[in-house]
Structure formats: structure tokens, C-alpha cells
Structure 1
Amino acid sequence: MILEKLGKFLDKYSLKAKVIFTGIFGISIIAVIIITIAIFNNNIRNQEAIQNYINESTAAIDKAISTQFYERYGDVQAFAVNSVLQTSRIADMTKIFNEYARMYGIYDVILFVDTKGNFVASNDKSPNGEKINTTKLAKQNYAKEDWFQNAFEEKYTTDKNNGFDGTYFEDAKIDPIVENAYGKQIFTTSFSTVVTNFEGKKIGVITNRANFSWVGDEIKNEYENARGQSSVRIDLLLLNKNGELLADFTKESFDKKVTLDPNYSSEKAKMLVESQTVKDALNSNSGSTTYYDKVSKRDSYIAFDHIKNKKFIPSINWTLIISIPEDDIFGANNRQTFYTVTIITSTWLISLIFALYLSLGLSKKFSEVARRLGITSESILKSSKELTKLFDKVAANAVKQSQSQEQTSAALTQILAMISRTVENVQSSKQTATSVSNEAQEGNIAMERMEKAVIKIEETNTSLEEIRKIINQINTKTSLINDIVSKTELLSLNASIEAARAGEYGKGFAVVAEEVGNLAKTSGNAATEIETLIASSASKVSSIIEETKLKVIEGIEASKLAVTIFKGISEKIEDIKQRVDSINEATNEQKIGVESTTDATNLLSQMTKENSDSAEKALTTAKTVEQDSNRIALSMNEIKYLVYGKKF
């Protein structure tokens, strides 16, 4: 509803006014969104910056103080087990205590008293090697001191979960023991424990009076580091669980070098300690807030956290306070946001100027376009009338062309039928030629088989030749046997003669010789018969071989002639088959060509019909174009109204 009313309201104004309004409105919305996002991101970056800065500072100080505390807590227990304390050698004890003071550099007084609280020994030199006054220390009884009573009764400051047990801790204060030894007030903490002999019997208490510089030096290092890395002004305070000031690291106290002076508090420290924000911080774990710094007259950010490292005992409850001026830590982010907003504002102004320029240009161009459209619409109207006349003629010609195409199509249909019959006859001839070709090939194969059979006969004749050769060899061997028989008969005769000469002694040999002769004759007769049979066989084999050769020669010549004839027939039939195939292919191609021509003629006929229909539609379209031209003219008047805001 609102948009509809806005549209009606803008209709009364020109296109230039509409473009200017739209540009200003759109650019302004975008600028507001970007500025809002920039401010929102700035707040997020500020929060991240302060949290990162404070977390890094508190974490570093927390770790440094806790590490020192853990070592101090264990030092006194290590001193208590020194074997020299089991003796009565006071000079050796004094020497050992002086060495401890020198080595650690923070123990102003190391005091050993007996079970009654009476002085036994202490160091007589400061960590710097200067003599200290031990006379007052030696005269005093310490039985009623808290550190003595708690250590002797083993009421230690403990945190057994983290391994703290065996030492009693006194919070930072002006220590009277150290004041008696040095003649001035010194801020210290004490670590005390009971001393036992080798049998476990208590023999006294040892206490280390540690200068509070073991804490102050750690805070000082982090304070100087924070100031040196950036232009941020940072104030650090350390409070005990009662809210009393232990360390004052403000600019004022740091410049005066009184950061650990218990008798001095800077104006900033006093204001923070007395503020409700800091008092509330003592009862909570950690937190942060903003406040107005009356000293520097600046809005500042304050964060507080307790020393809670595992190397520190939570019951001691020291609280670290950090104060930072907001413009110091947020300055870079705020400047960046300011620059961003400035750039966006400048961009917004430039965009407005550009929108104005653009609207003027668009208005001018729209006017020119409207003028050209008017001329074009008149031209279209004139052209549409001419198109109407032309399409009338096209429609008439399309009807005549359609009739001619129908006659051509009928003639091609008759030609196609004749070619189809020719194709059928060619196909039948092709089948017959194929059948004859197959039979000729089978006859050719049979002749090849006969030729191979004749060759086999020839090979058999060759085998008979081999047999004849073997018979001849046997005949030769038979002749050799006859020679042997003749020689054997001769030897038998000679043996008989020699046996006769031998007389009585040769009778047995004569019988053998006779038998040998008989065997030789028998062998000779058998050999003669074999020779006769072999000669007869050789004659018959030779006759068979000669006849076979003649038959084989005649069969080979006849088979070769038959093969040659069948091959010629097969080749001619194959040639006929190929010619029939060629005729078949040509006829098929001719049929395809005629079919294609018929299809093309049908397609042309269809296209002619479609052209006729299209001509009618085009005629209708031309009339529609004429109507559209009239509508364009009306639209031109509306565009002029849109551009100029008035009717024509």
C-alpha cells in the first residue's frame, strides 16, 4: 500500500527528479548501513584489543610472580635440612646463611631460632655483602611471633592439590626483624618452617625474610615492557586480600622510584583502591569495566584478576589491577573508524553529484530516444502496409507452385515403381549366378582332390621303385651266399682229404667235413631257389612300375586339363556374378536416387504448402504489426509523460 502511494506520488514528477530521489535514497541507505557496520566492528575490535592486551599482561605477571613464589616456598625447606643446623657451630651457620643471602640476592635476613624462640644464628651480611646489625636480633625472643608459632606447630600455608606443604607464609609488610638489622623500614615477606634433627625431633625454626623486590622486579619488567612496546599508558597495582596496596606501578610512583614504598601511594593508586569497582573486584574472580579517571581526566578501562597460577597458593588472594586510558588502547581503532566514516560520507556526497549528473544525462537521452522511436513507429506503420500487399501476391504464387509440385510427385512415383520391378529381376539373376558359381567351385574342388589322388599314386609308384631296389640288393646278397657255399664245399673236400691222410685219427673229422659239405649243398640249392624267385619278383615289379608310370602320366595330364577347364569356367561364372552385382548396385543406387528425388519433391510440396500457410500467417502478422505501430505511438506519449512529467 505504501509503495503504491509512493509510486502515484512520484508519477507527477519528471524522470530527472525520480532518478535523483532514487539515487539519494539508495546511496543514503547504503551509507547508513556501512557506517553502522563500521561502528559495530570498531566496538568489537576495541573489546578484542583490550582483552588481548590485558590478558597478555595479567598472564605474564601472574606466571612470573607464581614462579618466584614457588621457588621461595621451597627455598626455606631446603635451607632447613642443611646438616650444619644439626650442630652447635654458630660460625658455620652464619657463613652458610651469608652464602644463601649472596646467592639468592633477595633474603635480607635468614634467622634460625631454637624451640624456645631464642636466637641461634643468622646472616651478618646483606645480599650485597655489607655488614648488618645482628645485636638486636640476638637479644630478642621470637616465641610469640606468628611465624614462629605457626611454623613450630606445623600450621603451614598449604595447597596440597598443587604440592604446597611445609612452609608458613607471611604476607608483605614492614618487617621489624629486617628493620632491626638494617636500621630502616623495608617491605618484606617471610617464609618459615620447622627444623628437625636426624631423629625427626624438632630443634628449632628457620625463617627467610625475603625482600618484596622478588615480586616488584617481576611486575617492573612487565610494566616496562608494556610501556616500551606501545604508546599505551598502563597503571598496575597489586593488592593483598584485605585490599591493601602492595605494589604501586603508576606513572607517578614509577617516575619517583617508590613503587614498593609502603609509606607512599600515588593519587591514582589511592583513587583506585578506594573505588567501589576495586572493592568489588576483591570478592570476584576476574572482570573489567570502564570508569572516569579523575586524575588524568580521561575515560579509562580497568581490569582485575587474581594471581591463580598453579604455582601460587589461592588463599593468599593477591589481586592484580590494570588501568588503561580508553583512547590509548582504542585510539588506532577509533581513528580507523573515523577515517572509514569520513570516506563513506565523502563517497556519499560524490555519489549524489554523480546521481544528479546521471539523471540529467538520462533525461536528455530518454528524450532523444523517444523522438527516434516516434520516427521509427511511423516508418514501421508504412512498411507494414507495403508488407500486406506483398504477402497477398506471395500467397497466390504459393498456391500455383503447390499444384505443380503435386504433378511432379505423381510422375516420380510411377518411375519409382518401374525401377522397383527392375531391381527385383536383377536380384533374381544375382541369386541364379551365385548358385552356378557355388556349383562350379564345388567341381573345381573335386578336380583338385582327383589331382591330389593321382599325385598319391605317383608317390606309391615311387615306393615300388624302392621295393625293386631292395629286391636287387637281396639278389646281390644271394649271389654272395652262393660264393660262400662254393667255398664251403671246397673246404669240406679239403677236410675230407686231410682226414683220410690222418687215418684212424681223422675219421671223426671226416664225418664232420662230410656233414658240412652236405649243409653247403643244401644252402646252395636254397639260395639258387631264392635267387630264381627274386628274379621273377623283380621282373614282375618292374613290369608293374612301368605300367603304373604310364597310367600316372596320363592321369596327371588329364587331371591338370580338367582342373584348368574348371578354373576357366569358375572364373567366367565369377565374372558374370560380379557384373550382376554391379547391375544390382547400380539399380539400387538408381532406386535410392529416385526415392530421394521423390522425398525431396514431397518435401518441396510440403514446404510449398507451408509457405502458402506462412504467407497467410505473414499477412495476418503484417496487419498485427500495423496495429502494434499504433500502440507504439500511444506508448511514446507515455514515455514523454514519464520523462517530462506532463501529457502531450
Structure 2
Amino acid sequence: MKFNLSLKQKLLLSNIGLIVVFGLILLFQFNNALSQQKVEIRNGFNNSSSKLSGNLSQNFYKFYHNVQAISKNESLKGEDKQKISFFLNELVSLYPNYDFMVLTDLEGNYKSSSFLSPTGDKLAVSNLEGKNFSGTEWFKATKDGDLTEDYEKKIYGSHFSEIKDSEIGKLLYGESKKGFYVTTPVQDEFGDSLAILTTFVGVRAINESVAELEASLKEEGKEGALIRVMGANKLISSNQESEKTLTPRSSLKFEEDDDKKNEGFELPWAKSRPLVAVEKINDKRFLKELDWEVYVEMDSTEAFQGINASKNFFGVSFIISLILSAIVAFFMSRALSNRMSKAAESVSSGSDEINEASGEISDQAKLLSESTNQQASSLHETVSSLNEISAMVSKSASHSQSSKEMSSRSRESANEGMKTVEQMLEAIDEIASANSEIVEQLNTNSKEMQEITNVIKEIEDKTKVINDIVFQTKLLSFNASVEAARAGEHGKGFAVVAEEVGTLAKSSGDAATEIEDMLAKSIESVNKIVENTKNRVDGLVEKGSAKVEMGREVSKQCKDALEIILDQSSNLDMAIEEIATASVEQSQGIQEISKAMDQLNAVTSQNSDIAKKVSNGTDQLNQQAEKLSFVSMNLNKMVYGKEKINEPVKSDSSSNEDDNKVIKFEQKKSQQEPPKPVEEKVTVNGSETALDSDDHEWEDL
């Protein structure tokens, strides 16, 4: 089935089709971008669990080794309980994550402890007096050597307990304290155990890391995230007081291999599809046997809130854009169709221009006759002008010979003057070079003098400093001697110091003497440089004077040569003046010839063009009329969607090319008539040739 669509309908359908295709492509790309953003959010969510895992492992590593560093202090190896207590108390004040520190003997009996809390409150240390902790888990494990260690990770020497309520903390604070013990033996220089030191770290150290991650997630717009730290499937810390059941890691289902376990993912069986990131802490600074995990969970709807909003906004915008684009395409198609309709009507009215072309052919024939007469007259004038030019050329030749001889003599004098000028320039260049050397040498001397001045100034400053040091050293030596004398037997050490200080003063004095010698040498060097500079400048000035004198002599020779050139130039000017007069006369004759030749050329061109126009005018007129008719019919078909019109058949013009007979052909009507159908007959002369759509004259039309 064939559809005859108008131009407006075709344009409208094409534009709407392009808009729909472009919109679908844009929608596909937008969905891909949203998917990529979701992947980035999941990866970022996983990074949050990795960040918390890193902080916890770093704190573990610090607490694990800090207790060993504390145990090496000599105060803990003595029997002064008060000294031990003050030392432990100072550590708690410096490191507020420690709730308390306790030292027991190898039998578990209480020996000493810190007596202040991290906030400065006094603890009930009296409750620990006479207590024995041999039955506690941390004491047994440490004494028996059952330490929490991993030699491959270079983590050994301490016992790390589970998170639990501290029985010691309840005695000291009067309330339950949750945290973990980090315990290590106190050993002498031979490695024998002397006591057991335990430190208790409150769970707030872990809570601070959780709170830090929560604040970071809030800055990223993830305010509803649930953060938990688990140890052996037991809750250690959480940012929310919720009864929500935590999904154990062992029950999580992964669709891919184990490498994906540490990535952010959505629980496929959950109705709200929460976004989950689970990571087991097991880096080089943490012990795997503790079985700690970081669990970060957030509802995916909240996590992808921005993406969902963008998706909804894009959908609404996409539909509105399609509607607006269709409306714009409709009005544009209608406007373009109206313009094409007007163009078709304009082409139909082109027959009037063909009639005007017939009148132009008649006028061209008249111009051809007039141009022939003008050509004959111009040729006559050309002959007369050529005779006059011949006489003037002879006269110009005679004067040219005289000018040539004078020019030769002037050229020789000019060459001599050129050589003299070159010598003068060379002398001047040498003078300039000598002056440049003088300037450079002066600049060099100036820099050297400046450097020497700076050196002397620096040495002077150093000498002042040394003298001050010598004075202070002597004063110090004196004071030390006085103090040594007062101290008597106990001041022998001060006497040694005084002697060393005196030696230092003597060395400083010697250094000052050496510096004075160096200053004298520097001054002598400066004097030599000044004297050398003076000698160099005198030599350069003398050399410059000689070069200047030479330049004067050369300038005098140049003046004489230039005077000769001026005399010759005067004679040359007179000869050139005569040549100029003759040239003016010759120029006038040439202008007359030029005018005549221009007229002849113009007439010839007109004759040629007119002849061609007369010869081809009739044929072109026929072709244009036929093309115009064919174009009009096809435009109507394209604009209004009518059935295609066949091209007109070529008529036999062989019998009327020379006798200019008039041939008439009838234009076919379209099946669907436009508002003003073309029904007139076109009259043409010459051969009839249908216009092909690929013909270059179609473009001209």
C-alpha cells in the first residue's frame, strides 16, 4: 500500500522519530550512569567498614605494645609502692583510654595501682588492699605464659582478654566497667618474672572510633547507618541502642566468590533490601584469633535517595521534553512546508522572466552592429599613435646612452666611498668592543669588591660573636670555679667542668686571633684587586684613544669620497631630467595607444559575447522554460504529496534550429490540483531538453 504524504507530514514524522530515538539513547545512558553511581556508593560503603577496621586494629596494636613498654620501667621492679602508684597514675593521666592499671606479685596478691581516674577523680584504692587475683583469667593466662600472640605478625609478649565487665573496675569506681585487659609480666634484666602488670582499657576507646565513622557517614548523607563491632558474635560496640537482630556473617549469602565478601552488597532476602558491609579484622596489626568483625548496615532506599530522586526527575523531564519537542517539530514542519509552497508558486510565475530574456536577445543584436563600427575607427587611431611613438623612442635612446656613461662613473666613485665607509665602521666597531671590555671589567671589579666587602663584614660579625662567647665562657669558668670551691669535696666535678670551660675559652681566643689574621689577608687581597683593576682600566682607555684617532682619519677619507659622488650625482641628475622629459612625451603616445587598444579589445569582446548569446540564446530559452515547468510540477508533488509527474519528452528540434520556428508543448495537470494549478502552455524556441535532477543547471536555477 502506497501512502502519498505531504512534506509537512514527512517532516513531522521524521522529527518525532529522531526525538524518540535520541531520547531512548539518552535514557539508556542515564540508567547506566545511575547503575555506576550505585556501584560507587556500595564501594564507598565498604570503605567505611575498612576505615573502622583499620582504626580498631591500630588501637589494638597500640594498647598491646604499650603495656610491654610500661613494664620495662625500673619503678615497677622495685618495692616502693607509692612510687609505683604515682608512676601508674601519671600514665593514666597521659593516656585517658586506660581506666586503671594494677600491679600484682607472682602469687596474685595486690601490690599497687593507679589511684586517679582519667578525669581526675580519686579511686577507691583501699578496696584492693589484701585482694588476691590469682583466680582471674588474665592473671592465670599471663603467669602460665598463655599469651595472645602471632609471631608471623610480630605480635607477642602480652595477653589480650575478651570484652567483659571488670571486677577490679567495680571495686575502684563503685560501678561496672566494661572493657578488656591487656596484661604482661614485669621481668628483670635476665628475663625472670618479678610481677604481673595489667591495664584495663574501657570500651569507650572503641566507641570513639564508631562515633568517628558515624560522623563521617553523616557528612556523606548516610545518617541512618547502623554501625556495630562484634567479637565472637557478641556485640562490643554500637552507635544505636536497638534491639535489631544482627545477621551473623556466617549466614550471609553471596552470589559470587569469597573475594566479594568484603564489598558492600544488598541482602537479597530482606524486604527493605538493606545495604550491608561486613569486614573481619585481620590485618598485620591485629590477631585473627580474637575474631572481631565490623558490621555497617543501612537501608538501601535511604542510601540511594539521591539517585532515586534524580531518576524520578529525569523521567518527568524526559516526558515533558518529548511533548515539547513534538510541539516544536510540528510548528517547524508547518513553517517549512508553507515556505516551500510559496516557492512553488514563485517558480510557476517564472514565465514572465522568459519573455524578458527574448527582449534582451533583440537588444544584443543591435549592440553587435554598433560595436563593429567602433572597432574600425579605433584601428585607424592606433596606426597614427604608433608613428609618433617611433620618433620619441629614438630620442630617448640617445639620452639613455649619456646617462649610462655618467652612471658608470658614479658607480666607481660610490664603490670607493663604500670601501672607505666600511673601514670607518670597522674602526668604530673596535672602539665599541674596547669600550665594552672596559665596562665589563669595571662590572667585574665592582662585583669582586662587593663580595670581598661582604666576606669582611661576615668575618667581622663572626668575630663579635666569638668574642661574646669567649667572654661568657670565661664568666662561666669563673662561676664554676667559685661553686667548686664552695662545694669542697663535692665540687670536684665542678672543678673539672671549670677546667674544660677554661680550655674552651682558650680555644675561642685562638679562633679570634686566626680570624684577625684572615681579616688582614683579606684587606691585602682587596688592595691587590684594586691595583690590578686600575692598571686594566688605564690600558683599555689608552687602546680606546688610539681607535678613536683611527676612526677620525677614516671619517675624513669618507668625506672626500662622498664629495666626489655628489658632483657626479649632479651631472647624472641633469641627464635624467632630459630623459624624463622625453619619457613624458613617450608616455602620452603610449596612453593613446592603450586607449585605442582597450577600445578595440572591448569591442572585440562584445562582439564575441553577443555572437554567442545570439547563437545560444534561443536554445537556452527553450531549456529554461522546460526546466521551469518540470521544477514547478515536482515542487507541487513534494509539498502537497501528489502523484509523481513524468518528465516532458524531448521534442525534435533538428528542423527548427536555424529557421527559429516557434514550438509549443502542453503542460500536464496533476491529479490533485493545488490552489492555483499551472495550466498555461509554454512557448519556446530551439530544441527542447528535459531538466535532469542531477544537472548542474538545476543548482543555478
TM-score of the superposed pair, with normalisation by structure 1: 0.63
Partner of 2:633: 637
- Counterparts of 2:604 and 2:177 in 1: how far apart (Å)? 121
Relative distance call for 1:579 and 1:317 in structure 2 (3 A) is: same
Over 3 Å counting, the alpha-carbon distance change for 1:416 and 1:61 in structure 2 is same
Q: Which residue matches 1:372?
A: 346
Query: Which one is further off, 190-199 or 221-230?
Result: 221-230
Distance 1:279 1:384 in 2: 85
Distance change >3 Å, CA 585–CA 287, structure 1 → 2:
same
Q: Is the 8 A contact 1:158 1:166 kept in 2?
A: no
CA distance in structure 1 between the aligned counterparts of 2:112 and 2:144, rounded to whole angstroms: 18
| Aligned-partner Cα distance in 1 for 2:255–2:203 | 24
Superposition deviation, residue 594 in structure 1:
1.5
The residue aligned with 1:218 is: 209
| Residue in structure 1 matched with residue 584 of structure 2 by the alignment | 589
Which of 108, 113, 117 is residue 118 of structure 1 equivalent to?
Answer: 108
Cα distance in 2 for partners of 1:576, 1:79 equals 116
List per-residue Cα deviations over 1:325-382 (Å, max 9, x = no partner): 222222123212322332232121011012112222322232222112211x212211
The 1-side partners of 2:573 and 2:127 are apart by: 141
Identify the residue that residue 298 of structure 1 maps to in structure 2.
272
* Aligned-pair CA distance for 1:61: 2.9
Distance across 2 between alignment mates of 1:210 and 1:432: 117
CA distance, structure 1, for counterparts of residue 215 and residue 577 of structure 2: 110
Q: Do the aligned partners of residues 300 and 402 (structure 1) sit closer, same or farther apart at CA in structure 2, a change above 3 Å counting?
A: farther
Query: Partners in 1 of 2:256 and 2:608 — Cα distance?
Result: 97
Q: Taking structure 1 as reference, are residues 16 and 133 closer, same or farther at Cα in structure 2, changes over 3 Å only?
A: farther
Asked if the contact 1:154–1:166 (Cα under 8 Å) also holds between the matched residues in 2, the reply is: no
Contact 2:281–2:288 (Cα < 8 Å) also in 1: yes
Query: Which amino acid letter does the alignment assign opposite residue 644 of structure 1?
Result: Y
Hey, what's the Cα distance between the residues in 1 that align with 2:226 and 2:604?
A: 100
In 2, the alpha carbon distance for the partners of 1:223 and 1:382 equals: 91
The answer for the alignment partner of 1:358 in structure 2 is 332
> 2:23 aligns to what?
31
> What is the deviation of 1:273?
4.3
Cα deviation digits, residues 395-443 of structure 1 (max 9, x gap): 3333333333333323322222233334446667x689989xx9xxxxx
Q: Following TM superposition, by how much is the alpha carbon of 1:208 offset from its aligned partner in structure 2, in angstroms? A: 2.2
Amino acid at match of 1:197: D
Give the counterpart letter for 2:307 in structure 1.
N
1:560-592 deviation digits (Å, cap 9, x = unpaired): xxxxxxxxxxxxxx9999988655432222123
* Structure 1 residues 401-416: aligned runs within 5 Å: 401-416=374-389
The residue type equivalent to 1:592 in the other structure is S
Aligned twin of 2:608 = 613
Q: CA deviation at 1:174?
A: 5.5
Which residue of 1 is the match for residue 393 of structure 2?
420
Rounded to whole Å, the distance in 1 between the matches of 2:44 and 2:384 is: 99
Equivalent of residue 20 in structure 1, options 8, 12, 20: 12
* SS of residue matched to 1:267: coil
Checking the alignment, whether the CA contact within 8 Å between 1:151 and 1:168 is kept in structure 2 is no
Say if 1:100 and 1:584 are closer, same or farther in 2 by CA, change over 3 A. Answer: closer
Relative to structure 1, the CA distance from residue 282 to residue 590 in structure 2 (aligned partners, 3 Å threshold; closer, same or farther) is: closer
Q: Which has the higher contact order (CA 8 A, sep 6+)?
A: 1
Counterparts of 2:265 and 2:250, CA distance in 1: 16
The equivalent of 2:35 in structure 1 is 43
User: Retained in 2: the 8 A contact 1:38–1:341?
Assistant: no
Conserved? CA contact 1:305–1:320, under 8 Å: yes
SS at match of 1:138: coil
How far apart in 2 are the matches of 1:46 and 1:251?
Answer: 25
Indicate if the aligned counterparts of 1:166 and 1:193 stay in contact, CA closer than 8 A. Answer: yes
Partners in 2 of 1:195 and 1:577 — Cα distance?
Answer: 122
Letter of the structure 2 residue corresponding to residue 360 of structure 1: R
1:16–1:362 CA contact under 8 A, matched in 2: yes
Question: Given the alignment of the two structures, is residue 61 of structure 1 paired with residue 52 of structure 2, yes or no?
Answer: yes
2:251 to 275, 281, 299: 275
Change (3 A) 1:9 1:330: farther
CA shift in 2, pair 1:308/1:390, >3 Å: farther
Check conservation: 1:101, 1:107, Cα contact below 8 A: yes
Verify: 1:190 aligned to 2:197, yes or no. no
Secondary structure in 2 aligned to 1:323? strand
| Structure of greater Rg | 1
- Which has more helix, going by share of residues? 1
Query: How far off its partner does 1:124 sit?
Result: 8.7
Instruction: Give yes or no for the alignment of 1:386 onto 2:386.
Output: no
Q: Are the structure 2 counterparts of residues 47 and 252 from structure 1 closer, same or farther at C-alpha, using a change threshold of 3 Å?
A: same
* Residue 247 of structure 1 pairs with residue 236 of structure 2: yes
CA positional deviation for 1:18 = 0.4
Aligned residues: 482
Give the CA deviation at 1:183: 9.2
Against the structure 1 CA distance between its residues 155 and 586, is the aligned structure 2 distance closer, same or farther, given a 3 Å change threshold?
same
Change (3 A) 1:155 1:581: closer
Partner AA of 1:330 in structure 2: F
CA contact (8 A) 2:52 2:210 kept: yes
Query: Aligned residue for 1:157?
Result: 149
2-side partners of 1:386 and 1:355: how far apart? 46
Asked if 1 retains the 8 angstrom alpha-carbon contact of 2:214 and 2:239, the reply is no
Counterparts in 2 of 1:155 and 1:578: CA distance versus 1, 3 Å: closer
